[in-house]
Amino acid sequence: MMQDADVQALVTARHSDPFSVLGLHEDAEGRLWLRSLLPGAQQVVVIDAATGKSIVTLSLRHPDGLFEARIPRRRKRFDYELDVTWQDGQSGRYADAYSFGPQLDLADLHALRAGSHLRPYTVLGAHPMEQRGVAGVRFAVWAPNAKRVSVVGAFNVWDGRRHPMRLRHDAGVWEIFVPHVMVGDLYKFELVGSDGTVLPLKADPYARASQMRPDTASRVAVLPPARSLPEGRGAANERHAPMSIYEVHLGSWRHGKGGRFASWDELAGSLPGYVASLGFTHVELLPISEHPFDGSWGYQTLGLYAPSARFGESDGLERFVQACHTRGIGVLLDWVPAHFPHDTFGLAQFDGTALYEYADPREGVHRDWDTLIYNFGRSEVRNFLLGNALYWMERYGVDGLRVDAVASMLYRDYSRKAGEWIPNLHGGRENLEAISLLRHVNEVLGLHASGSITLAEESTAFPGVSAPTSSGGLGFHYKWNMGWMNDTLAYMHEDSVHRRWHHNKMSFGMVYAFSENFVLPLSHDEVVHGKGSLLHKMPGDEWQRFANLRAYYGFMWGHPGKKLLFMGQEFAQTSEWNHDAELPWHLLGDARHAGMQRLIRDLNHLYCAHSALHQLDCEPQGFEWLVADDADQSVFAWMRRDAQSRVMVVVCNFTPVVRTGYRLGVPDGFHAWREVLNTDSQHYGGANLGNAAAPLPVQNTPVHGRGQSVQLNLPPLATLFLVPV
């Protein structure tokens, strides 16, 4: 017979080992007993699953729904079902969760404990499956310090007494197979902490789908099939290929009918075609994993494995990625391993202890964002993050991850004053655990997600961000060039009459341009929080603002480095970005805005079509200054070349003065040069000054330290692209 202490622990949902007493068990004499905890049941009859015959009616051991009986005339275990009549008159026949044995293999458990399981998402979380001919869902969750964990949902009226889970002590993982639960069912975990406190219901860290905010339950979903990058995508992601990235916040690019979020399929039908028509090579999505607060733009995620319900079922993301690839567009996802919000239904104090986060607030709290920092030194947390990176690559076939807030991961004193941080074991400021994790992620992706890439948003001078790990680097493929962005935008903000005093802000980036594989980012961060749009960062009257922005885009597309532009800036959005509203597409009815969009299209096509502009983006051999010191006239000129010595010259005039007959020193070996793009063209809203009429003959007139030169007209506030003829 079951002891009274066990009975009390079961009915109060405090039993730490329910499988030891529920289901079929032998007593000391070898007789079989069956026990079931079904609060709200009136009668429970045991049915032989093979024959459908009734075997015994269970007796009520405790009024809170604990039933038991000795099985007559049977000595061997057998498959059974429970025919339950509920107190409300409803009835049903169910397989018993406590008739199923341990769920997870020892090899998986050992790998989870060691942090060496590359794909923990195949083990943890909710997995629909069939066992012994019974359909249901296997649930597993890591909570090593909990005294009891139950899975709850509508299938058990959210009652934590109904399905307490089995603890696999080797790994601190709780598991259970719950029959009859189906894809789409909602669930959470109810945990009792080590101090006996029942914690707020927790969403599944490994959930592959979740409810739409403000609801927070996890949703049972199938594991997406494994996918690899389509043929040719790997080559399109290499640093010698053109890379021009359109950064998108899906919730505000375009709305669906009635102002709702557009669905994945609606986005698949419009966004890839739009991006391709403008000549971009990649689209980068602000975080699409589930997040509770729209205003975080996805950067405070609590469902790292779940595509946001804002855009519909998660399989829609698969179709969206395929639609992008069909149009030749690579897909990059913003990925946030640096921090997570402290919502009570999420990872914070998950089992009543600092499980996913550092316990000490000097390590575990981001003061800037009021978020928690992952414990990068804990093997299971590292496994959670590494598995997630591989999950997006392998299960959705995306091209890469842009890793957010890398600088905050690298330094223990990030945005902290003296005394507010803990040095590493060597007394330094570097977060050695985070550095190790980033290297490991990049190494694993290199081995198991061939052709994919990672890009780091890293704002300091940390060395070797995009260097291989074998040479001591972090192993990213690309790094955002935040210094270039800050310097050049500061220059462009100056009135043109003052730019001569800030000339070096535009040229300084070339001092370190090849120290990393850089992306030049004009991202969402530059058009929010009172910073205004790119157009309104420009000085002067409306004509000058448009001309300045066109010239700046020309400067950027001619400059070494891959390109990134946030949505809306391709047509010179006038207001700063508002995540609650869709882009102001009506502006394209204005010729100036439509002209800006045409310029971006033509810059992208020029950049992709001419290997001189992209093949050696990350090599010093691909760049040579022609004019770097003409501060008085605010003129810059340089030459780009590819590995086959094909060349293109870029010339910028950042004053509103027309410079007629400007003599430019050019390299030897060419007879004439031709203008192939002029940001002052009337097609883009400019004054149409320039050199489009005829080729520019080379003359033997020395200037700028060269023996040959050409004379050309520099339009006001404009960038020219020239090729030899």
- Map out the domains of the chain with their CATH numbers: 4-95 (2.60.40.10), 106-219 (2.60.40.10), 242-337+378-421+439-611 (3.20.20.80), 614-724 (2.60.40.1180)
* pLDDT > 70 fraction of the chain, expressed in percent and rounded: 100
pLDDT at position 87: 92
Burial of 255 (0-12, 13-18, 19+ CB in 10 A): middle
pLDDT (0 to 100) of residue 462: 95
> Around 125, how many Cα atoms within 13 Å sit in the side-chain half-sphere?
28
Res. 692 pLDDT band, cuts 50 70 90: confident
Query: What is the rounded distance in angstroms from the CA atom of residue 423 to the CA atom of residue 430?
Result: 8
Q: How confident is residue 159, by pLDDT bands cut at 50, 70 and 90? A: very high
DSSP 297: T
Q: How many CA atoms lie within 13 A of 454 on its CB side?
A: 31
Residue 259 pLDDT class (50, 70, 90 cuts) = confident
> Has residue 297 got a pLDDT over 90?
yes
CB 169, CB 20: distance < 8 Å = no
**pLDDT value at position 468?**
97
What are 618-648's pLDDT values in tens digits? 999 999 999 999 999 999 999 999 999 999 9
CA distances from 289 to 301, 308, 441, 516, 609 (A): 6, 5, 18, 29, 35
Phi (first) and psi of residue 643, to 5 degrees? -70, -15
CA distance readout (Å), 340 to 276, 385, 405: 34, 12, 12
Position 466 pLDDT exceeds 90: yes
Enclosing H/E stretch for 558: helix 542-558
**pLDDT of residue 1 exceeding 80:** no
Name the pLDDT band for 161 (thresholds 50, 70, 90): very high
Residue 75: pLDDT band (50, 70, 90) is confident
Q: Which two tokens stand for residue 19?
A: 């499988």
Task: Please tell me the distance from the alpha carbon of residue 592 to that of residue 616, in angstroms, as a whole number.
Answer: 33
Q: Which of 65-74, 376-385, 538-547, 634-643 has the lowest mean pLDDT?
A: 65-74
pLDDT band (50, 70, 90) for residue 28: confident
Q: Average of pLDDT values for 603-610?
A: 98
Residue 48 CA to residue 41 CA, distance in Å, equals 20
Q: How far apart are CA 563 and CA 466, in angstroms?
A: 16
Q: Is the pLDDT of residue 563 over 80?
A: yes
Predicted local distance difference test score (pLDDT) of residue 130: 97
pLDDT recorded at residue 389: 98
Q: What is the pLDDT of residue 16?
A: 86
187 Rama sector, left if φ>0, alpha if ψ -120 to 50, beta otherwise: beta
Question: Rg of the chain over CA atoms, in angstroms?
Answer: 31
Nearest Cα residue to 415 out of 481, 526, 479, 338: 338
Cα(146)–Cα(174) distance, integer angstroms: 9
Q: Look at residue 2 and tell me whether its pLDDT is greater than 90.
A: no
The confidence score (pLDDT) of residue 618 equals: 96
Which of the four pLDDT bands, split at 50, 70 and 90, describes residue 73?
confident
Average pLDDT over residues 423-439: 96
The 8-class DSSP code of residue 431 comes to -
The residue count of the chain comes to 725
Element (H, E) at 383: helix 379-396
Q: Average pLDDT over the chain, rounded to whole? A: 95
Q: Can you give the pLDDT at residue 203?
A: 98
pLDDT at 693: 77
pTM: predicted TM-score of the whole model, two decimal places: 0.94
Confidence of residue 547 (pLDDT cuts 50, 70, 90): very high
The model's confidence at residue 548, banded by pLDDT at 50, 70 and 90, is: very high
- Give CA–CA dist 689/712, Å, rounded: 11
CA–CA gap between residue 116 and residue 100 (Å, rounded): 27
By annotation, the residues acting in catalysis are 404, 457
Q: Is the pLDDT of residue 192 over 90?
A: yes
